[in-house]
Amino acid sequence: MIAGRVRQPLRMLLLPARHGTEKSCGRSLKKELVALGVLPDDFLNWVSLQLEQWRLLGTPSSELRQIVKSSILAACTGAPSEVIIYGAKLADRYFEIHEKLIREHLMSHEEGVTFLSHAFLIAHLASAEKLSAAQIANLLSQRDQRARFSRQSIASALEALRVQPELSIKQVRILYFRDAGQELAAFADADLPTAAELVTLAGERLGYQGDLLTALKTLSPISGSNGLSSPYTPYLQILHYQCSIAEYFDHAVTDLYEFSPRGASCNWLHSQYPDSITGAGNPFLNNAKSVEVADIGWVRSKKSKERPGAMALLSILQGLQAMGFFARRELARWLRLWLHRAIRIAGSAATAIPTTLSPQQISSLIARISLGNTETFGILEQRVVDAITVCLHPQWRTRGLGDSVNTTNLSRTKLGDCEFLNPATKSLVAYESHGGKLTAVYVEEHLATIKKSVLRRIDELTAIADISAWSAEIIFVAHEVIGEIPDSVTIEGLAITIKTATFSTFLATQIPSDSEAFSSAITEYFLTPLQAQRTPNEVRQKLLSSI
Protein backbone atom coordinates (compact mmCIF):
# COMPACT_ATOMS: atom_id res chain seq x y z
CA MET A 1 0.00 0.00 0.00
CA ILE A 2 1.05 3.60 -0.55
CA ALA A 3 0.24 6.57 1.66
CA GLY A 4 -3.07 8.30 1.05
CA ARG A 5 -1.40 11.63 0.28
CA VAL A 6 0.18 9.98 -2.78
CA ARG A 7 -2.40 7.30 -3.54
CA GLN A 8 -5.30 9.72 -4.05
CA PRO A 9 -3.63 12.08 -6.55
CA LEU A 10 -2.04 9.12 -8.36
CA ARG A 11 -5.36 7.37 -8.87
CA MET A 12 -7.03 10.64 -9.83
CA LEU A 13 -4.66 10.90 -12.79
CA LEU A 14 -6.27 7.71 -14.24
CA LEU A 15 -2.95 6.85 -15.80
CA PRO A 16 -2.31 3.53 -17.53
CA ALA A 17 -0.66 1.17 -15.07
CA ARG A 18 0.32 -2.44 -14.64
CA HIS A 19 -0.66 -4.70 -11.78
CA GLY A 20 1.80 -4.57 -8.91
CA THR A 21 3.47 -1.30 -9.96
CA GLU A 22 1.38 1.20 -8.00
CA LYS A 23 4.10 1.65 -5.37
CA SER A 24 6.68 2.44 -8.05
CA CYS A 25 4.33 4.92 -9.68
CA GLY A 26 3.57 6.50 -6.28
CA ARG A 27 7.25 6.95 -5.50
CA SER A 28 7.78 8.54 -8.91
CA LEU A 29 4.87 10.93 -8.43
CA LYS A 30 6.06 11.94 -4.93
CA LYS A 31 9.60 12.55 -6.22
CA GLU A 32 8.35 14.78 -9.05
CA LEU A 33 5.99 16.77 -6.82
CA VAL A 34 8.66 17.31 -4.15
CA ALA A 35 11.07 18.49 -6.85
CA LEU A 36 8.46 21.04 -7.92
CA GLY A 37 8.24 22.32 -4.35
CA VAL A 38 4.71 21.01 -3.75
CA LEU A 39 4.03 20.20 -0.10
CA PRO A 40 2.64 16.71 0.68
CA ASP A 41 -0.60 18.21 2.02
CA ASP A 42 -1.08 19.93 -1.36
CA PHE A 43 -0.39 16.91 -3.58
CA LEU A 44 -4.09 16.20 -4.26
CA ASN A 45 -5.05 19.85 -4.79
CA TRP A 46 -2.09 20.46 -7.10
CA VAL A 47 -2.93 17.44 -9.29
CA SER A 48 -6.63 18.37 -9.35
CA LEU A 49 -5.78 21.90 -10.48
CA GLN A 50 -3.44 20.65 -13.24
CA LEU A 51 -6.06 18.21 -14.58
CA GLU A 52 -8.75 20.90 -14.59
CA GLN A 53 -6.53 23.37 -16.48
CA TRP A 54 -5.68 20.65 -19.02
CA ARG A 55 -9.38 19.90 -19.51
CA LEU A 56 -10.33 23.59 -19.92
CA LEU A 57 -7.38 24.75 -22.03
CA GLY A 58 -6.88 21.56 -24.03
CA THR A 59 -3.14 21.68 -23.43
CA PRO A 60 -1.33 20.17 -20.44
CA SER A 61 1.36 22.10 -18.60
CA SER A 62 4.97 21.02 -18.94
CA GLU A 63 4.89 19.97 -15.26
CA LEU A 64 1.91 17.68 -15.85
CA ARG A 65 3.61 16.21 -18.94
CA GLN A 66 6.69 15.37 -16.88
CA ILE A 67 4.69 13.81 -14.04
CA VAL A 68 2.65 11.66 -16.44
CA LYS A 69 5.76 10.55 -18.30
CA SER A 70 7.62 9.59 -15.14
CA SER A 71 4.64 7.72 -13.71
CA ILE A 72 4.10 5.70 -16.90
CA LEU A 73 7.78 4.80 -17.04
CA ALA A 74 7.59 3.75 -13.39
CA ALA A 75 4.75 1.40 -14.35
CA CYS A 76 7.28 -0.47 -16.52
CA THR A 77 9.32 -1.46 -13.46
CA GLY A 78 10.37 -5.10 -13.70
CA ALA A 79 8.59 -5.52 -17.04
CA PRO A 80 9.80 -7.62 -20.00
CA SER A 81 11.77 -5.73 -22.64
CA GLU A 82 8.79 -5.60 -25.01
CA VAL A 83 6.67 -3.84 -22.38
CA ILE A 84 9.46 -1.39 -21.62
CA ILE A 85 9.65 -0.50 -25.32
CA TYR A 86 5.98 0.24 -25.85
CA GLY A 87 5.75 1.71 -22.34
CA ALA A 88 8.40 4.28 -23.30
CA LYS A 89 6.44 5.17 -26.44
CA LEU A 90 3.30 5.54 -24.37
CA ALA A 91 5.12 7.81 -21.90
CA ASP A 92 6.35 10.02 -24.75
CA ARG A 93 3.08 10.12 -26.70
CA TYR A 94 0.39 9.95 -24.03
CA PHE A 95 -0.95 13.47 -24.64
CA GLU A 96 -0.54 13.15 -28.41
CA ILE A 97 -2.69 10.01 -28.44
CA HIS A 98 -5.25 11.68 -26.18
CA GLU A 99 -5.52 14.65 -28.53
CA LYS A 100 -5.95 12.28 -31.50
CA LEU A 101 -8.74 10.38 -29.75
CA ILE A 102 -10.62 13.65 -29.34
CA ARG A 103 -9.89 15.02 -32.81
CA GLU A 104 -10.28 11.91 -34.96
CA HIS A 105 -12.50 9.65 -32.89
CA LEU A 106 -14.79 12.32 -31.42
CA MET A 107 -14.19 11.40 -27.80
CA SER A 108 -14.69 13.77 -24.92
CA HIS A 109 -11.71 14.74 -22.77
CA GLU A 110 -12.84 12.32 -20.05
CA GLU A 111 -13.39 9.49 -22.53
CA GLY A 112 -9.88 9.92 -23.86
CA VAL A 113 -8.40 9.70 -20.36
CA THR A 114 -10.50 6.62 -19.60
CA PHE A 115 -9.50 5.02 -22.88
CA LEU A 116 -5.80 5.58 -22.19
CA SER A 117 -6.08 4.11 -18.70
CA HIS A 118 -6.28 0.76 -20.54
CA ALA A 119 -3.24 1.44 -22.74
CA PHE A 120 -0.97 -1.19 -21.20
CA LEU A 121 -3.73 -3.78 -21.44
CA ILE A 122 -4.42 -2.82 -25.05
CA ALA A 123 -0.75 -3.19 -25.97
CA HIS A 124 -0.47 -6.47 -24.08
CA LEU A 125 -3.52 -7.96 -25.76
CA ALA A 126 -2.15 -7.04 -29.17
CA SER A 127 1.50 -7.99 -28.68
CA ALA A 128 1.32 -10.99 -26.36
CA GLU A 129 -2.18 -12.38 -26.87
CA LYS A 130 -2.38 -11.50 -30.60
CA LEU A 131 -5.82 -9.93 -30.37
CA SER A 132 -6.76 -7.70 -33.26
CA ALA A 133 -7.90 -4.12 -32.72
CA ALA A 134 -11.50 -5.17 -33.44
CA GLN A 135 -11.35 -7.95 -30.87
CA ILE A 136 -9.74 -5.67 -28.27
CA ALA A 137 -12.51 -3.14 -28.85
CA ASN A 138 -15.14 -5.83 -28.31
CA LEU A 139 -13.46 -6.94 -25.10
CA LEU A 140 -12.99 -3.48 -23.60
CA SER A 141 -16.51 -2.41 -24.55
CA GLN A 142 -17.77 -5.13 -22.23
CA ARG A 143 -15.22 -4.30 -19.54
CA ASP A 144 -15.62 -0.53 -19.28
CA GLN A 145 -18.74 1.40 -20.35
CA ARG A 146 -17.23 4.86 -19.75
CA ALA A 147 -15.55 5.13 -23.14
CA ARG A 148 -16.44 4.19 -26.71
CA PHE A 149 -13.96 1.62 -27.89
CA SER A 150 -13.81 0.94 -31.61
CA ARG A 151 -11.52 -0.90 -33.93
CA GLN A 152 -10.31 2.42 -35.32
CA SER A 153 -9.56 4.05 -31.96
CA ILE A 154 -7.75 0.94 -30.73
CA ALA A 155 -5.80 0.81 -33.99
CA SER A 156 -4.74 4.44 -33.54
CA ALA A 157 -3.36 3.70 -30.09
CA LEU A 158 -1.58 0.56 -31.27
CA GLU A 159 -0.06 2.42 -34.19
CA ALA A 160 1.33 5.05 -31.83
CA LEU A 161 2.79 2.32 -29.62
CA ARG A 162 4.17 0.45 -32.66
CA VAL A 163 2.39 -2.79 -31.78
CA GLN A 164 -0.32 -2.70 -34.45
CA PRO A 165 -1.04 -6.21 -35.77
CA GLU A 166 -0.29 -6.69 -39.45
CA LEU A 167 -0.74 -9.66 -41.77
CA SER A 168 2.24 -9.82 -44.11
CA ILE A 169 2.24 -11.27 -47.60
CA LYS A 170 4.89 -13.72 -46.38
CA GLN A 171 2.53 -15.02 -43.70
CA VAL A 172 -0.30 -15.38 -46.23
CA ARG A 173 1.92 -17.25 -48.67
CA ILE A 174 3.34 -19.62 -46.05
CA LEU A 175 -0.15 -20.42 -44.82
CA TYR A 176 -1.54 -20.87 -48.32
CA PHE A 177 1.06 -23.39 -49.38
CA ARG A 178 0.91 -25.21 -46.03
CA ASP A 179 -2.85 -25.58 -46.42
CA ALA A 180 -2.42 -26.74 -50.00
CA GLY A 181 -0.15 -29.49 -48.72
CA GLN A 182 -2.71 -30.63 -46.13
CA GLU A 183 -5.84 -30.54 -48.26
CA LEU A 184 -5.33 -33.97 -49.86
CA ALA A 185 -4.86 -35.73 -46.54
CA ALA A 186 -7.97 -34.04 -45.14
CA PHE A 187 -10.34 -34.79 -48.03
CA ALA A 188 -8.71 -37.47 -50.22
CA ASP A 189 -11.21 -37.96 -53.08
CA ALA A 190 -14.17 -36.13 -51.50
CA ASP A 191 -16.26 -33.83 -53.66
CA LEU A 192 -17.14 -30.39 -52.32
CA PRO A 193 -20.44 -31.40 -50.65
CA THR A 194 -18.77 -34.36 -48.91
CA ALA A 195 -15.83 -32.19 -47.90
CA ALA A 196 -18.34 -29.69 -46.49
CA GLU A 197 -19.78 -32.49 -44.34
CA LEU A 198 -16.31 -33.19 -42.95
CA VAL A 199 -15.80 -29.49 -42.18
CA THR A 200 -19.20 -29.39 -40.48
CA LEU A 201 -18.28 -32.43 -38.37
CA ALA A 202 -15.07 -30.68 -37.31
CA GLY A 203 -17.11 -27.59 -36.46
CA GLU A 204 -19.50 -29.58 -34.30
CA ARG A 205 -16.62 -31.07 -32.36
CA LEU A 206 -15.14 -27.61 -31.84
CA GLY A 207 -18.41 -26.12 -30.58
CA TYR A 208 -19.52 -24.17 -33.66
CA GLN A 209 -23.08 -22.93 -33.25
CA GLY A 210 -25.10 -22.66 -36.44
CA ASP A 211 -25.89 -24.47 -39.67
CA LEU A 212 -22.44 -24.59 -41.20
CA LEU A 213 -23.29 -27.29 -43.75
CA THR A 214 -26.11 -25.30 -45.34
CA ALA A 215 -23.92 -22.19 -45.52
CA LEU A 216 -21.09 -24.09 -47.20
CA LYS A 217 -23.42 -25.75 -49.68
CA THR A 218 -24.85 -22.35 -50.56
CA LEU A 219 -21.38 -20.94 -51.25
CA SER A 220 -20.08 -24.09 -52.94
CA PRO A 221 -19.15 -23.84 -56.61
CA ILE A 222 -21.28 -26.11 -58.78
CA SER A 223 -19.89 -28.82 -61.07
CA GLY A 224 -20.96 -28.56 -64.71
CA SER A 225 -19.88 -29.63 -68.17
CA ASN A 226 -17.31 -26.83 -68.20
CA GLY A 227 -15.94 -27.50 -64.73
CA LEU A 228 -16.85 -25.55 -61.60
CA SER A 229 -18.81 -22.31 -61.65
CA SER A 230 -19.93 -20.12 -58.79
CA PRO A 231 -21.90 -16.89 -58.46
CA TYR A 232 -20.41 -16.43 -55.00
CA THR A 233 -16.67 -16.69 -55.55
CA PRO A 234 -16.04 -13.17 -54.12
CA TYR A 235 -17.60 -14.34 -50.86
CA LEU A 236 -15.38 -17.44 -50.92
CA GLN A 237 -12.35 -15.18 -51.33
CA ILE A 238 -13.48 -12.93 -48.49
CA LEU A 239 -13.96 -16.01 -46.31
CA HIS A 240 -10.49 -17.26 -47.26
CA TYR A 241 -8.81 -14.02 -46.23
CA GLN A 242 -10.74 -13.73 -42.95
CA CYS A 243 -9.86 -17.35 -42.15
CA SER A 244 -6.20 -16.60 -42.93
CA ILE A 245 -6.27 -13.75 -40.42
CA ALA A 246 -7.74 -16.17 -37.87
CA GLU A 247 -4.61 -18.32 -38.04
CA TYR A 248 -2.38 -15.53 -36.76
CA PHE A 249 -4.67 -13.26 -34.74
CA ASP A 250 -7.57 -13.47 -32.33
CA HIS A 251 -9.71 -11.36 -34.62
CA ALA A 252 -13.39 -10.41 -34.70
CA VAL A 253 -13.78 -11.87 -38.18
CA THR A 254 -16.97 -10.00 -39.06
CA ASP A 255 -14.77 -6.89 -39.13
CA LEU A 256 -13.66 -6.85 -42.77
CA TYR A 257 -11.24 -3.94 -42.99
CA GLU A 258 -8.68 -4.11 -40.21
CA PHE A 259 -6.07 -6.10 -42.13
CA SER A 260 -5.86 -4.09 -45.35
CA PRO A 261 -8.12 -6.19 -47.60
CA ARG A 262 -7.11 -4.05 -50.57
CA GLY A 263 -3.40 -4.54 -49.89
CA ALA A 264 -0.73 -6.80 -51.34
CA SER A 265 -1.37 -9.75 -48.99
CA CYS A 266 -5.06 -9.96 -49.80
CA ASN A 267 -4.57 -9.36 -53.52
CA TRP A 268 -1.97 -12.13 -53.68
CA LEU A 269 -4.38 -14.57 -52.06
CA HIS A 270 -7.18 -13.65 -54.46
CA SER A 271 -4.86 -14.15 -57.43
CA GLN A 272 -4.45 -17.82 -56.50
CA TYR A 273 -8.06 -18.52 -57.45
CA PRO A 274 -8.39 -19.90 -60.99
CA ASP A 275 -9.90 -17.64 -63.62
CA SER A 276 -12.64 -20.19 -64.24
CA ILE A 277 -14.44 -19.26 -61.00
CA THR A 278 -13.32 -15.69 -60.32
CA GLY A 279 -14.48 -12.30 -61.45
CA ALA A 280 -12.49 -9.16 -62.00
CA GLY A 281 -11.40 -6.83 -59.24
CA ASN A 282 -10.95 -6.99 -55.49
CA PRO A 283 -13.84 -8.89 -53.81
CA PHE A 284 -13.77 -6.61 -50.75
CA LEU A 285 -13.87 -3.48 -52.87
CA ASN A 286 -16.62 -4.85 -55.11
CA ASN A 287 -18.75 -6.44 -52.42
CA ALA A 288 -17.99 -4.72 -49.12
CA LYS A 289 -17.01 -1.19 -50.07
CA SER A 290 -17.35 1.23 -47.15
CA VAL A 291 -18.52 -1.64 -44.96
CA GLU A 292 -16.64 -1.94 -41.68
CA VAL A 293 -18.51 -4.91 -40.24
CA ALA A 294 -20.47 -7.62 -42.00
CA ASP A 295 -23.99 -7.65 -40.55
CA ILE A 296 -27.57 -8.23 -41.63
CA GLY A 297 -27.76 -4.67 -42.94
CA TRP A 298 -24.90 -5.46 -45.33
CA VAL A 299 -26.75 -8.57 -46.48
CA ARG A 300 -29.93 -6.58 -47.13
CA SER A 301 -27.95 -4.08 -49.18
CA LYS A 302 -27.05 -6.77 -51.74
CA LYS A 303 -29.08 -7.52 -54.85
CA SER A 304 -31.61 -10.30 -54.37
CA LYS A 305 -29.58 -12.86 -56.33
CA GLU A 306 -26.51 -12.13 -54.18
CA ARG A 307 -28.21 -12.26 -50.79
CA PRO A 308 -28.09 -16.05 -50.28
CA GLY A 309 -24.30 -15.99 -50.69
CA ALA A 310 -23.89 -12.91 -48.52
CA MET A 311 -26.10 -14.44 -45.82
CA ALA A 312 -24.12 -17.70 -45.95
CA LEU A 313 -20.85 -15.80 -45.52
CA LEU A 314 -22.26 -13.74 -42.66
CA SER A 315 -23.53 -16.89 -40.95
CA ILE A 316 -20.10 -18.52 -41.09
CA LEU A 317 -18.27 -15.41 -39.90
CA GLN A 318 -20.67 -14.84 -37.00
CA GLY A 319 -20.32 -18.48 -35.96
CA LEU A 320 -16.55 -18.24 -36.05
CA GLN A 321 -16.55 -14.99 -34.11
CA ALA A 322 -18.57 -16.56 -31.30
CA MET A 323 -15.87 -19.19 -30.73
CA GLY A 324 -12.74 -19.04 -28.59
CA PHE A 325 -9.44 -18.31 -30.31
CA PHE A 326 -8.04 -21.83 -30.61
CA ALA A 327 -11.35 -23.39 -31.64
CA ARG A 328 -11.87 -20.60 -34.19
CA ARG A 329 -8.33 -21.03 -35.45
CA GLU A 330 -8.81 -24.76 -36.05
CA LEU A 331 -12.19 -24.43 -37.76
CA ALA A 332 -10.77 -21.63 -39.91
CA ARG A 333 -8.09 -24.12 -41.01
CA TRP A 334 -10.76 -26.63 -42.05
CA LEU A 335 -12.58 -23.91 -43.97
CA ARG A 336 -9.39 -22.95 -45.79
CA LEU A 337 -8.79 -26.60 -46.69
CA TRP A 338 -12.30 -26.77 -48.11
CA LEU A 339 -11.59 -23.66 -50.16
CA HIS A 340 -8.39 -25.30 -51.40
CA ARG A 341 -10.48 -28.27 -52.52
CA ALA A 342 -12.57 -25.87 -54.62
CA ILE A 343 -9.41 -24.25 -56.01
CA ARG A 344 -7.97 -27.68 -56.87
CA ILE A 345 -11.08 -28.95 -58.62
CA ALA A 346 -11.61 -25.71 -60.55
CA GLY A 347 -7.99 -25.16 -61.50
CA SER A 348 -6.67 -28.52 -62.66
CA ALA A 349 -7.26 -30.53 -65.84
CA ALA A 350 -7.75 -34.23 -65.14
CA THR A 351 -4.88 -36.56 -66.01
CA ALA A 352 -6.22 -39.05 -68.56
CA ILE A 353 -6.47 -42.67 -67.46
CA PRO A 354 -7.72 -45.72 -69.39
CA THR A 355 -11.46 -46.38 -69.54
CA THR A 356 -10.79 -50.13 -69.22
CA LEU A 357 -7.89 -52.24 -67.97
CA SER A 358 -6.48 -55.32 -69.63
CA PRO A 359 -6.05 -58.53 -67.59
CA GLN A 360 -2.33 -57.82 -67.44
CA GLN A 361 -2.92 -54.28 -66.18
CA ILE A 362 -5.35 -55.55 -63.54
CA SER A 363 -2.72 -58.08 -62.40
CA SER A 364 -0.13 -55.29 -62.14
CA LEU A 365 -2.56 -53.17 -60.14
CA ILE A 366 -3.35 -56.01 -57.74
CA ALA A 367 0.37 -56.75 -57.33
CA ARG A 368 1.10 -53.11 -56.52
CA ILE A 369 -1.63 -52.83 -53.89
CA SER A 370 -0.60 -56.18 -52.37
CA LEU A 371 2.96 -54.91 -52.07
CA GLY A 372 2.19 -52.08 -49.65
CA ASN A 373 0.59 -48.68 -49.08
CA THR A 374 0.01 -46.95 -52.43
CA GLU A 375 0.31 -43.54 -50.72
CA THR A 376 -2.92 -42.39 -52.35
CA PHE A 377 -4.64 -41.66 -49.02
CA GLY A 378 -6.34 -45.08 -49.29
CA ILE A 379 -8.14 -44.20 -52.52
CA LEU A 380 -6.75 -46.95 -54.78
CA GLU A 381 -7.17 -49.46 -51.96
CA GLN A 382 -10.82 -48.57 -51.33
CA ARG A 383 -11.72 -48.57 -55.00
CA VAL A 384 -10.27 -52.07 -55.44
CA VAL A 385 -12.17 -53.33 -52.41
CA ASP A 386 -15.36 -51.87 -53.91
CA ALA A 387 -14.76 -53.73 -57.18
CA ILE A 388 -13.99 -57.05 -55.47
CA THR A 389 -16.75 -57.03 -52.89
CA VAL A 390 -19.52 -56.11 -55.33
CA CYS A 391 -18.62 -59.35 -57.15
CA LEU A 392 -18.59 -61.31 -53.88
CA HIS A 393 -22.14 -60.20 -53.01
CA PRO A 394 -24.18 -60.17 -56.23
CA GLN A 395 -27.81 -59.11 -55.91
CA TRP A 396 -27.29 -57.85 -52.34
CA ARG A 397 -28.46 -54.39 -51.32
CA THR A 398 -25.45 -52.06 -51.33
CA ARG A 399 -24.54 -48.94 -49.42
CA GLY A 400 -21.39 -46.84 -49.70
CA LEU A 401 -20.04 -48.15 -53.01
CA GLY A 402 -18.09 -45.34 -54.64
CA ASP A 403 -18.15 -43.10 -51.57
CA SER A 404 -15.05 -41.01 -51.01
CA VAL A 405 -12.44 -42.36 -48.63
CA ASN A 406 -13.25 -39.85 -45.90
CA THR A 407 -17.04 -40.03 -46.13
CA THR A 408 -18.33 -40.39 -42.58
CA ASN A 409 -20.19 -43.58 -41.73
CA LEU A 410 -22.89 -41.62 -39.92
CA SER A 411 -23.69 -39.45 -42.92
CA ARG A 412 -24.53 -42.60 -44.91
CA THR A 413 -25.63 -44.65 -41.86
CA LYS A 414 -23.31 -47.47 -42.91
CA LEU A 415 -21.04 -49.77 -40.93
CA GLY A 416 -18.00 -49.54 -43.20
CA ASP A 417 -16.71 -48.00 -46.40
CA CYS A 418 -19.04 -50.25 -48.34
CA GLU A 419 -21.80 -52.48 -47.05
CA PHE A 420 -23.91 -55.34 -48.38
CA LEU A 421 -27.24 -56.51 -46.99
CA ASN A 422 -29.19 -59.68 -47.83
CA PRO A 423 -32.74 -59.68 -46.43
CA ALA A 424 -33.31 -63.32 -47.37
CA THR A 425 -30.45 -64.61 -45.24
CA LYS A 426 -30.62 -61.74 -42.74
CA SER A 427 -26.94 -61.05 -43.37
CA LEU A 428 -25.05 -57.77 -43.32
CA VAL A 429 -21.40 -57.55 -44.35
CA ALA A 430 -19.37 -54.31 -44.25
CA TYR A 431 -15.84 -53.77 -45.50
CA GLU A 432 -13.55 -51.11 -44.07
CA SER A 433 -10.51 -50.45 -46.24
CA HIS A 434 -7.50 -48.86 -44.54
CA GLY A 435 -4.42 -47.86 -46.54
CA GLY A 436 -1.61 -48.47 -44.08
CA LYS A 437 -1.44 -49.99 -40.59
CA LEU A 438 -4.61 -51.09 -38.82
CA THR A 439 -4.41 -50.62 -35.04
CA ALA A 440 -6.70 -51.51 -32.16
CA VAL A 441 -7.27 -47.80 -31.54
CA TYR A 442 -8.50 -47.31 -35.13
CA VAL A 443 -10.92 -50.23 -34.73
CA GLU A 444 -12.19 -48.89 -31.38
CA GLU A 445 -12.81 -45.47 -32.91
CA HIS A 446 -14.60 -47.03 -35.87
CA LEU A 447 -16.86 -49.07 -33.59
CA ALA A 448 -17.63 -45.95 -31.55
CA THR A 449 -18.62 -43.99 -34.67
CA ILE A 450 -21.00 -46.65 -36.00
CA LYS A 451 -23.12 -46.80 -32.85
CA LYS A 452 -25.34 -44.00 -34.15
CA SER A 453 -25.47 -45.66 -37.57
CA VAL A 454 -26.72 -48.90 -36.03
CA LEU A 455 -29.29 -47.01 -33.98
CA ARG A 456 -30.64 -45.34 -37.11
CA ARG A 457 -30.81 -48.70 -38.88
CA ILE A 458 -32.76 -50.56 -36.19
CA ASP A 459 -36.18 -49.90 -37.76
CA GLU A 460 -34.93 -50.99 -41.18
CA LEU A 461 -33.51 -54.25 -39.85
CA THR A 462 -36.33 -55.13 -37.46
CA ALA A 463 -38.88 -54.57 -40.23
CA ILE A 464 -37.37 -57.72 -41.76
CA ALA A 465 -36.57 -59.76 -38.65
CA ASP A 466 -35.83 -59.42 -34.97
CA ILE A 467 -32.44 -57.82 -34.40
CA SER A 468 -31.16 -60.99 -32.74
CA ALA A 469 -31.80 -62.94 -35.96
CA TRP A 470 -29.33 -60.88 -37.97
CA SER A 471 -25.79 -61.94 -38.78
CA ALA A 472 -23.42 -58.96 -39.14
CA GLU A 473 -19.73 -58.74 -40.03
CA ILE A 474 -17.22 -55.94 -40.40
CA ILE A 475 -14.10 -56.95 -42.31
CA PHE A 476 -11.13 -54.61 -41.93
CA VAL A 477 -8.60 -54.77 -44.77
CA ALA A 478 -5.21 -53.08 -44.29
CA HIS A 479 -1.60 -53.50 -45.34
CA GLU A 480 -0.62 -54.43 -41.79
CA VAL A 481 -2.56 -55.35 -38.64
CA ILE A 482 -1.07 -54.30 -35.31
CA GLY A 483 -2.28 -55.15 -31.81
CA GLU A 484 -5.18 -57.22 -30.52
CA ILE A 485 -8.41 -56.59 -32.39
CA PRO A 486 -11.66 -57.71 -30.73
CA ASP A 487 -13.44 -60.68 -32.33
CA SER A 488 -16.94 -59.35 -31.84
CA VAL A 489 -19.04 -56.58 -30.38
CA THR A 490 -22.74 -56.06 -29.72
CA ILE A 491 -24.25 -52.67 -30.53
CA GLU A 492 -27.92 -51.96 -29.80
CA GLY A 493 -28.59 -55.70 -29.74
CA LEU A 494 -26.88 -56.34 -33.09
CA ALA A 495 -24.09 -58.90 -32.72
CA ILE A 496 -21.22 -57.98 -35.04
CA THR A 497 -18.33 -60.28 -35.88
CA ILE A 498 -15.04 -58.51 -36.54
CA LYS A 499 -12.51 -59.90 -38.98
CA THR A 500 -9.21 -58.53 -40.27
CA ALA A 501 -7.14 -59.26 -43.37
CA THR A 502 -4.09 -57.82 -45.03
CA PHE A 503 -4.38 -56.62 -48.60
CA SER A 504 -1.89 -59.24 -49.73
CA THR A 505 -4.07 -62.03 -48.24
CA PHE A 506 -7.39 -60.45 -49.21
CA LEU A 507 -6.38 -59.85 -52.82
CA ALA A 508 -4.89 -63.32 -53.14
CA THR A 509 -8.00 -65.11 -51.87
CA GLN A 510 -11.02 -62.91 -52.64
CA ILE A 511 -10.63 -61.92 -56.30
CA PRO A 512 -13.60 -63.43 -58.16
CA SER A 513 -12.93 -66.36 -60.44
CA ASP A 514 -15.17 -64.82 -63.09
CA SER A 515 -12.57 -62.58 -64.70
CA GLU A 516 -15.08 -60.95 -67.03
CA ALA A 517 -17.33 -59.93 -64.13
CA PHE A 518 -14.33 -58.65 -62.20
CA SER A 519 -13.07 -56.70 -65.22
CA SER A 520 -16.50 -55.05 -65.53
CA ALA A 521 -16.47 -54.25 -61.82
CA ILE A 522 -13.01 -52.69 -62.15
CA THR A 523 -14.33 -50.46 -64.93
CA GLU A 524 -17.46 -49.39 -63.01
CA TYR A 525 -16.27 -49.24 -59.41
CA PHE A 526 -12.56 -48.51 -59.80
CA LEU A 527 -11.90 -46.55 -63.00
CA THR A 528 -15.12 -44.54 -63.20
CA PRO A 529 -14.71 -42.94 -59.73
CA LEU A 530 -11.04 -42.23 -60.48
CA GLN A 531 -12.08 -40.34 -63.61
CA ALA A 532 -14.43 -38.14 -61.60
CA GLN A 533 -13.53 -34.51 -61.03
CA ARG A 534 -13.22 -35.07 -57.29
CA THR A 535 -10.24 -37.45 -57.58
CA PRO A 536 -6.86 -35.71 -57.29
CA ASN A 537 -4.49 -36.01 -60.26
CA GLU A 538 -1.81 -37.38 -57.95
CA VAL A 539 -3.93 -40.51 -57.51
CA ARG A 540 -4.43 -40.95 -61.27
CA GLN A 541 -0.70 -40.61 -61.78
CA LYS A 542 -0.07 -43.30 -59.14
CA LEU A 543 -2.46 -45.57 -61.01
CA LEU A 544 -0.64 -45.03 -64.29
CA SER A 545 2.68 -45.87 -62.67
CA SER A 546 1.14 -49.04 -61.17
CA ILE A 547 -0.19 -50.50 -64.42
DSSP string covering 366-435, please? HHHHHHS--SSTTHHHHHHHHHHHHHHSTT-EEESTT--TT--HHHHT-SSSEEEEETTTTEEEEEEEEE
Buried b (16+ CB within 10 A) or exposed e, 99-127: bbbeeebebebebbbbbbbbbbbbbbbbb
What is residue 374's predicted lDDT score, i.e. its pLDDT? 95
Is 493 in a helix, a strand, or coil?
coil
Q: Rounded distance, CA 320 to CA 254, Å?
A: 9
- pLDDT tens digits for range 15-30: 999 999 999 999 999 9
**Beta bridge partners of residue 500, listed in sequence order:** 476
Angle (nearest 5°) at CA 174 between 170 and 180: 145
Q: Is 228 a residue whose pLDDT tops 90?
A: no
- pLDDT tens digits for range 442-498: 999 999 999 999 999 999 999 999 999 999 999 999 999 998 999 999 999 999 999
Q: Rounded distance, CA 340 to CA 376, Å?
A: 18
Q: Is 113 a residue whose pLDDT tops 70?
A: yes
397-399 β-sheet, strand order: 397-399, 418-422, 427-438, 471-481, 494-502, 488-491
Is 524 in a helix, a strand, or coil?
helix
Consecutive H or E run containing 175:
helix 169-187
- pLDDT tens digits for range 181-212: 999 999 999 999 999 999 999 999 999 999 99
What is residue 411's predicted lDDT score, i.e. its pLDDT? 84
What is residue 433's predicted lDDT score, i.e. its pLDDT? 95
What is residue 280's predicted lDDT score, i.e. its pLDDT? 59
| Confidence at 262, pLDDT banded by 50, 70, 90 | confident
Q: Rounded distance, CA 412 to CA 418, Å?
A: 10
Q: Is 317 a residue whose pLDDT tops 60?
A: yes
What is residue 525's predicted lDDT score, i.e. its pLDDT? 96
- Residue 243 is given by DSSP the state H
Average pLDDT (496-506) is 96
Q: Rounded distance, CA 316 to CA 233, Å?
A: 15
Q: Is 225 a residue whose pLDDT tops 60?
A: no
Q: Is 275 a residue whose pLDDT tops 90?
A: no
The set of residues, in sequence order, having a beta carbon less than 8 Å from that of 34 and lying 6+ positions away, is none
Q: Is 1 a residue whose pLDDT tops 60?
A: no
What is residue 538's predicted lDDT score, i.e. its pLDDT? 93
What is residue 282's predicted lDDT score, i.e. its pLDDT? 77
What is residue 349's predicted lDDT score, i.e. its pLDDT? 82
Average pLDDT (261-283) is 83
